Amino acid sequence: MTDEPTRDPFGGHVVLLDLDGVKDKAGLMDRCARALDLPEWFGRNWDALADSLTDLSVWPEAAEGRGLVIVVRDWRAYAEARPGEWGTAQDVFAQAADEQPELSVLLALGGSS
């Protein structure tokens, strides 16, 4: 446990990342690009996602000065169908949140089919 102050994740701009119907990495990347309004040049791979999550210049304008909270919902079917990919996705989200203190990624437990 550290004595560092923690930022209230709910004070940031909230983006819903709905994974309902996502069957593979391509679908996940498309949903991330759409939900986060990523630029056309977004590479749709793990490195590009990691870079986008930590690059404030590609975040939604509403997140400026407030931080970004990504709420991931309906992720369980994808996690069960593609556990390796889901593990990588979780690693990318976690590492980005560790690297960028203005970012929080929350997994919604309810509402998943």
* pLDDT tens digits, one per residue of 47-97: 999 999 999 999 999 999 999 999 999 999 999 999 999 999 999 999 999
> pLDDT value at position 106?
95
Residue 35 and residue 16: Cα distance in Å, rounded?
Answer: 7
Q: For the residues 9-18, what does the mean pLDDT come to?
A: 86
pLDDT (0 to 100) of residue 4: 45
Residue 11 pLDDT class (50, 70, 90 cuts): confident
| Residue 7 burial (10 A CB sphere; 0-12, 13-18, 19+) | middle
Which amino acid type is present at position 11?
G
Please state, rounded to an integer, the average pLDDT across all residues of the chain: 90
